[in-house]
Each structure stands twice: as C-alpha cells, then as structure tokens.
A and B are shown apart, each in its own frame.
Chain A
Amino acid sequence: MDTSRRLFLQAGAAVGGGLMLGFGVRADAAATAVTLTDYVIVAPDGVVTVMAKNPEIGQGAKTMLPMLIAEEMDLPWSSLRIETAASDPKRYGAQFAGGSMTTTMNWLPMRQVGAAARWMLIAAAAQKVGAPHDAFSTAEGQVIHTPSGKRFTYGALAADAAKINPPKLDDLPLKDPKAFKLIGQSKAGYDSPKIVRGEPIFGIDMTLPGMLYAVYVKSPVYGARLISCDLTAVKAAHGVKDAFILKGTDWHGLQDGIAIVANSWWYAQTARERLKPVWDEAAGAPHDSLIYLEQAKDLVKGPGEVKQSHGDADGALASAAKTISAFYEVPFLAHVPMEPQNCTARVTADGAEIWAPTQNPNSGGELVARTLGIGPEKVVVHMRRSGGGFGRRLENDYMAEAAAIAQKAGAPIKLVWSREDDIAYDYFRPGCYHQLRAGIDGDGRLSVYDCHSVTFARDGKVAQGASIEGNAFAPMVTPNFRLTQSLIPSTVPTGYLRAPTSNAIAFVHESFWDEIAHAAGQDPVAFRLAQLDAHAGDKADYNPGRMRRVLAAVAERAKWGQATLPKGEGMGVATYFSHRGYFAEVAHVRIADDGQWRVVKVWAVGDVGSHIINPTGAYNQVEGSIMDGIGSMEAGMTFEKGRAVQVNFQDIPMMRMPKAPLIDAHFLASDFPPTGLGEPALPPILPAVANAIFAATGIRIRKLPVLPEDIAAGRRVA
C-alpha cells in the first residue's frame, strides 16, 4: 500500500465550540474522493479526544496510534481521551488490522495530524497576542509565548484555532526525535481498566433494545448445499422465537444454513439438536488429509511450476560434492481467537447497522450491502474491541449471516458462533509440503538450494493464504536456486493466520538451513553469519546487514555455544525476515525420556526500525508471538470427507501457563522507519525450537505437529 499519499487538512468547529481537526486522504492527485474528518477534538475545558482509526484486536493500536498524535501536539497523556473511530474509509483511509501494517502506514501521517493541530493552536495564540508564529512554543497542553512567558491552554484556544486555515502537511516540521516525550515511553492499554472490571466492551457484549439471539447452522462439509430441513421441532423448543432457512454460496459471506432465533443464546444453541438437516455433501468426499499427503508425495516427483530460479539448480546438484534432501510437512491450523465469531445487526427499511469484532470493517460493510441487496451507503459498521484476531477477523462472514438473519427475523439480533462453529468454519492456515535439496561444494560452501513446494488451490489459483513464496534468505545467498510449486485443489476454506506464509515456510527453510549447516560441518550461527557477510552489500527488500546485527546480538545474549547442557537439552537458532521486521531467535529445549518436550527459554532480538513507540506493547507482542508459535507446534487440523476432524479446544493444544518459556526479548534500533510487531517475531521461533530438538536428541523435526511419540520413536531407532 502506498504510504506517500497526499494528505489534506481542514479544520471546523466541533459541537460545543471546540477544535475539530482531521485530514482527508486520497490515493493520488487524480482521484476524486476527498473527504474530511476528525481525529482530534479539543474541548473548551482542555480535554482532548483523539480518534484511533484502526481496529483493536489486542495488538495495541488503540493506545499506540493516539500516542503519535499526542507526541506532536505536546499533549499530556493523562488529559487524553481515546475513542475508536467509525468505519469510514472515505474519512480515515483504509482501516484494518493486518499485515503488521498499522505502524508502517501511520507513523508519519498520525504525527502530521498532531503537528498540524499544534500549528493551528499556535496560530490562534499568535493572532491573539499579535506576535509571529515562531515566538511560540508548546508544552503539556499549552501554547507559550516565549518572550513573555504567557501561557494559553489548548482549551482556551480551541474555538479560535478552528477558524485558522490548516497548514500544508508537507511543509510542516515534525519534532526532532531527540525531543520525544511519549514515543518510547510505555503506556498501558487504554481499555485495560475497563477489562479488569469486566465492563462490556467486546463485540460479544453488545446489546440492543429488543435484541434476540441467533445461531446459524451450516454443514460441516465445506461447500455442501442444503437439500431440506424440517423446522417444526426446533420452532417448538423452549425460548425459540423463529427458525428459517437461508441460502447462499458466498464462501466469504452467506452460505446455506438454518437460523435459530431465541430469547437467549443458550436456548438457540440447545435447540440445534432438534434439527435434522439433509445436506448434499458429495463434493467433500475426496478432501481428506491422508489423500492430500499422498497427492503431495506424487506431485513433488513431477515438474511443477517454476516460480523463482537463478543459476543452474540441476547442474549444481549433479556436480555437488555432497547433497542432502528432505521432505517437510506442515499442517493446516485454526485461528481460534478467544472470542468466538459474533456480530450484532439491526436491519430496517433505512439500512443496516452492524456491531462486530472485526479486523476489516470497511470490506465488511460492503459485504453486508451485497448480502442484503442495498447500497453500501446504507450500511454502518461499528468496530467493537476484538477478543483476538490472528487474521480470522479479516473475513466478515459472520456479518453477512447476522445481517441476513436480522433482516428476515425483523428484529435486532446477536449472532454468536459456538466454539465448535468457530473451528469448523474457520479460514484455516493452509498446510503445505516441501521437497528440499541442497548441494555443498568441495570447499564446504552451499552451491545449490532447490525447493519443490506443494500447496493448495481454490478455483484453479493458489488458495487464499497458501502462497509459498517469500523466503528471502536462501535465494539471496545461494548461487543456484530454484523454487517450484505444485497445487492440490481443495474445498477447505483457507485464509491468513498471523504471519501468513512465513508462519509455515520459516519452519521449513530455517530447519533445512540447520541441516545444511550440519551437513557442511559448521556451527549454525557461524554458517549464517558467513553467508550474511558475503552478501553484505546486496540491495534488496532483505537487508543482510540488519539481519547480521540481530543474529550476532542474539547469539551473544544466549551465550551461544558456550554452555554445556545436560543430556536431553539443546539450543537451536533461526532467523527470519517478514512483515518488514528482522528477528533472530535462540530456543533452549528440554526433552524428557518419553519424548515430552518443553521450551525452557527463548532469546529474541529484533530490528523493526528507529523507534519502539510503546515498549510495553512491543515486548508483549514479541513474547506473545513467540509463545503462539511454540504452541502452534503441537497443533494441526486434519480433514476427512471434506470436514474438519477437530471440534473444540480439547483437540487443539495451545500454549498454556506451565509450558510458557522464559523469554529474553531485545530490540536493536536502526535508521529505518518503524514497522509493525504483530507478526515478525513469530516465524523464526518454530525452526529455532525444531533445531534445538535436533541439538538435544539428534532427531530432525521435518513434520509438524511435533509429537512426543515421534521423538520417543526416533530415539529408539537411533
């Protein structure tokens, strides 16, 4: 996304006589849509309300974005109120939580918004005093006339400032980073006091007058159509107000199902048992994890489609002094955010109003409009705090369902998915399979890297979230390189899970790098450092110098290679570049005799640019990403006859308190603009752990999930 868009500022009077300041955004000068809006509201009493434009899913955007505005405005944090903006892309530009983009896209614009507000407040004071603009400074929510020391509160200036022509953003000086007072200081989550008191701020907590509760029952087989369903019994159930069939074939939106509407969610949920729907599930039959694996093993023997190539991979493999090869398997994964999918909808003749925990409110509004057959201008989407996202809420299928049910029911409804619904109807992180080959020349140098990846397809194209491209390190440092792709058609819905693509292929490539290092008889850290040094001058998206720094730092912090560990323990290392962030991580694992494994400690060093805007949030993201990644190494979704096998949390192991490792996280500042932290710390932890298991046991992990019985069996063979 282009972040160099032109920004337009305009001031206007807010209700109550304060200053309302905003900017419109347009993609380029030729675009016609210029809309103005408010980011900053200064009330006459000095209370400043700052809008947070993006969804809050636990990544801290609601606290971090206003910090940028407040920094340039010299606002005292304690006087600040924060509100979540409405979903309105014409006013706010794209609003979403994804791709670790919030920091990247807003670091400059949000500071410009703050600087412009400050400029207008100074201009108002300058008019009052009759002195030039540069005779004023600001501090702690006040404009100060430097020569006289006379102070004006922002509240007192707001009404006059609203009449000032706003400045051009490009000409506006921004603060010298040395003068930052907020950026770099930890600010606790703005909503947290409400959360510890149990206040109803999440999507699922929404209520409306006259609201009813709904469940929506779909086939467990993906793409199945509803043939018939007798609704007599369910309509007679206690508390049930209505039940009806809805039809649809939009796999991002409304699909065939039965809605049950009741006085309480539990009545609706309980009444489901009375349904005996007849589905056409034939399309699901060939979609089975065991069949997929057999297909993948066949496909990697074929030619595939070459996606990326340089040098002569076949020639280099033929002439290598030593070759190694390995087949890696990565499973499908579910997102399972703690708050199940839900949505509250009110549909009247005037339009639709939606309250949802979503990562993607703008496209949700469009989906609701399409589903109901009304104009998008008639849909209002309110963003509610999300109980986790992890990419699941980039999809808005629950919005389409809630809107369609509310329309037919003729009452506001809250649709809540059961956890079983949430897992069965996920947009899964697709699995993938990889046949890797590498060649080492007579001098112990890597001469060739060849990977044939098998991933999944939908409608003849690579399925959503199923790309296997993006590993930057191997193609940069290997003279002969080839990446080949083959596709398995699948009906299983797929999508983006935290650090999409990277969360799967980092494990594959960085584990295989460890294999290469060992095959070359070299230390895994030294081997990588040598490769990065050899390419220090390369100019690509991947900056070898930044990765070298974090790798050297993490090796030092972890005392890599210095400790003699007890039997059954080992340390592994991996690096990965994703979402513009550079992370190197070391894992220390301990493995019991029965193969039970546990990560004892992780060291992580990251470079995400010049500033860590809110350190408490940043460290929380790194720690959470690492534990999420480790937890995912015990999980895997499988499919039989076109449906998911796992149904609830008991089938999906995740990180829990006793297994949570110690984490030593550290950032290195660099001369690059700050980028996001929701994702990049996650990918390298999986291979770091897998490589540590190898160091501890000699057993190479080439398949996820990592099962204790596989480790125990490997030991018996060894």
Chain B
Amino acid sequence: MLTLNINGKPRQLDVPEDMPLLWALRDVLDLKGTKFGCGVAQCGACTVHVDGEATRACVTPVGTVLDAKITTIEGVGASPQGKALQAAWLDLDVMQCGYCQAGQIMTAAALLARTSKPDDTAIDDAMEGNLCRCATYKRIRAAIKTASGQSADDRREA
C-alpha cells in the first residue's frame, strides 16, 4: 500500500510504484480532472503540481512522488493564484472544448506562484508545453494577465 499527499490529504492506494501518477489519480483515486492527452509529456493536459512545480503526471511514476505534496485541478482553487486563474478563465470565457484547460490552469498557477506578474515572454516560455487544440491561446494569455492584476493586452508587438 502506497500513500500519496494529494490536495493536502493523505490518499492510500494499492498500485505498483511504476504506475504513472496520471492513472493513479484518474482510475484509482477517482480524480478525473487531470486529463490524458498523449502519455509522453508532449501536450500538458495532465499537468499537476509536485511540490509546487508544474509536472506531467503521465510520465511521473507514483513511486517518485511518495514524499511530495501533489496538487491537482480539484485542489488548485485553494491557492490564491489558482482561485484567481479559475475566476479569470470564467470571466474571459477562455474555453472551447475545455479538455486541456485543467492543465493550462495548473501550469499557469505554477508560473504565477514564482512570477507574480509574468510578461508575455514569461507566459510564452511557461505555456509552450501546454497544447490547446482549439487554440484559445489569445484568451489564455489574457486570463493569466488578468489573474495577475495586469492589463490583458498582448504586448508582444507593442
């Protein structure tokens, strides 16, 4: 039996240590907000926080995060950054299909936790690994800026 610390609570599960965190969350612990997109860390749909770092759960064996604090989309609203991002995502109506957006919010929350007011370059660098097939990038950028108390304008060509 393994114990993971997820969203501030200990969760026990009986799985092999090499099971990726993604499948432990989704299939074993019934936390389905973390999404499966590619299985090879190429799309970011499965992004969670491991000790505050944005991490691809699809390539993270549970055995490597037994001592870590894991935060998922279900728990990110407990942090001020997560809460502000969720609100901005709704205010700006970011979503189309919405499937990637949990991962987008998780990556953005980790960015805001280390850079309180990221500029466009910092947003580009942090978010490049998160694919949005509906390509809602314009609104994702605006929502990150709004959530961090900045003007929503894209300043890249200013």
| B-binding segment of A14-22, A130-138, A195-203, A244-252 | A195-203
Chain B residue at smallest Cβ distance from A335: B133
Check if B99 sits within 8 Å of A192, measured CB to CB.
Answer: no
Q: Does A57 contact B (CB under 8 A)?
A: yes
Q: Does A231 contact B (CB under 8 A)?
A: no
Interface size class of B (residues with CB under 8 A): 35 or more
In angstroms, Cα B4 to Cα A290, docked, is: 51
In angstroms, Cα B32 to Cα A338, docked, is: 15
Check if A195 sits within 8 Å of B102, measured CB to CB.
Answer: yes
Q: Chain B residues with Cβ under 8 A from A597's Cβ? A: none
Check if B99 sits within 8 Å of A339, measured CB to CB.
Answer: yes
In angstroms, Cα B16 to Cα A238, docked, is: 9
Q: Chain B residues with Cβ under 8 A from A200's Cβ? A: 32-33
Q: Chain A residues with Cβ under 8 A from B27's Cβ? A: 213, 264-266
Interface positions, chain A 155-213, Cβ under 8 Å from B, are: 186, 188-189, 191-193, 195-200, 202, 204-205, 207, 213
Q: Chain A residues with Cβ under 8 A from B140's Cβ? A: 657
Interface size of A in residues (CB-CB distance below 8 Å)? 64
Could you tell me the distance in whole angstroms from the C-beta of A299 to the nearest C-beta in chain B?
34
Q: Does B50 contact A (CB under 8 A)?
A: no
Check if B45 sits within 8 Å of A623, measured CB to CB.
Answer: no
Q: Chain B residues with Cβ under 8 A from A660's Cβ? A: 135, 137-138, 141
Q: Chain B residues with Cβ under 8 A from A601's Cβ? A: 157
Check if A338 sits within 8 Å of B97, measured CB to CB.
Answer: yes
Check if A654 sits within 8 Å of B90, measured CB to CB.
Answer: no
Could you tell me the distance in whole angstroms from the C-beta of B100 to the nearest C-beta in chain A?
5
Chain B residue at smallest Cβ distance from A419: B38
Q: Chain B residues with Cβ under 8 A from A193's Cβ? A: 90
Q: Chain B residues with Cβ under 8 A from A420's Cβ? A: 39
Could you tell me the distance in whole angstroms from the C-beta of A356 to the nearest C-beta in chain B?
15
Q: Chain A residues with Cβ under 8 A from B127's Cβ? A: 656-657
Check if A631 sits within 8 Å of B135, measured CB to CB.
Answer: yes
Q: Does A680 contact B (CB under 8 A)?
A: no
Q: Chain B residues with Cβ under 8 A from A196's Cβ? A: 73, 77, 86, 89-90, 101-102, 105
Q: Chain B residues with Cβ under 8 A from A624's Cβ? A: 96, 134-136
Chain B residue at smallest Cβ distance from A387: B99
Chain B residue at smallest Cβ distance from A187: B93
Q: Does B2 contact A (CB under 8 A)?
A: no
Q: Chain A residues with Cβ under 8 A from B97's Cβ? A: 57-58, 337-339, 385-389
Q: Chain A residues with Cβ under 8 A from B157's Cβ? A: 600-601, 662
In angstroms, Cα B134 to Cα A186, docked, is: 19
Could you tell me the distance in whole angstroms from the C-beta of B60 to the nearest C-beta in chain A?
12
Q: Chain A residues with Cβ under 8 A from B89's Cβ? A: 192, 196
Chain A residue at smallest Cβ distance from B135: A627
**Residue with the highest number of chain A CB atoms closer than 10 Å, among B100, B102, B131:** B131
Interface positions, chain B 77-110, Cβ under 8 Å from A, are: 77, 86, 89-91, 93-102, 105
In angstroms, Cα B35 to Cα A385, docked, is: 14
Name the one of A202, A626, A649, A658 contacting B99, with C-beta atoms under 8 angstroms. A202
Name the one of B19, B35, B72, B90 contacting A266, with C-beta atoms under 8 angstroms. B19
Q: Chain A residues with Cβ under 8 A from B40's Cβ? A: 419, 648-650
Q: Contacts A191-B98, A662-B157 given; indicate if A340 touches B36 (C-beta within 8 A).
A: yes
Q: Does A369 contact B (CB under 8 A)?
A: no
Q: Contacts A238-B16, A620-B136, A657-B141 given; indicate if A416 touches B36 (C-beta within 8 A).
A: yes
Q: Chain B residues with Cβ under 8 A from A199's Cβ? A: 33
Check if A197 sits within 8 Å of B86, measured CB to CB.
Answer: yes
Q: Contacts A419-B39, A662-B157 given; indicate if A336 touches B138 (C-beta within 8 A).
A: no
Name the one of B23, B45, B72 contacting A264, with C-beta atoms under 8 angstroms. B23
Check if A204 sits within 8 Å of B36, measured CB to CB.
Answer: yes
Q: Contacts A188-B90, A202-B99 given; indicate if A648 touches B42 (C-beta within 8 A).
A: yes
Q: Chain B residues with Cβ under 8 A from A628's Cβ? A: 133-135
Q: Does B65 contact A (CB under 8 A)?
A: no
Check if A198 sits within 8 Å of B133, measured CB to CB.
Answer: no
Task: Name 19 A/B residue pairs within 8 A (Cβ), A-sorted.
Answer: A60-B96, A186-B93, A188-B91, A198-B32, A264-B28, A266-B27, A339-B99, A387-B99, A388-B97, A390-B133, A419-B39, A620-B136, A621-B96, A648-B38, A656-B127, A657-B123, A657-B137, A660-B135, A662-B138
Sorted from nearest, which 7 A-B pairs have the closest CB atoms? A198-B33, A58-B97, A387-B99, A627-B135, A198-B73, A660-B137, A58-B96
If A196-B90, A197-B73, A386-B97 are given as contacts, then 7 extra A-B residue pairs at C-beta distance below 8 Å, sorted by A number, are A192-B98, A196-B77, A198-B74, A204-B32, A620-B134, A627-B138, A658-B125
- Interface residues of chain B, those whose CB is within 8 Å of chain A, are 15-16, 19-20, 23, 26-28, 30-40, 42-43, 45, 72-74, 77, 86, 89-91, 93-102, 105, 123-125, 127-128, 130-141, 154, 156-157
- Interface residues of chain A, those whose CB is within 8 Å of chain B, are 57-60, 186, 188-189, 191-193, 195-200, 202, 204-205, 207, 213, 238, 264-266, 269, 336-340, 385-390, 416, 418-420, 600-601, 616-617, 620-621, 623-624, 626-628, 631, 648-650, 654-658, 660, 662-663
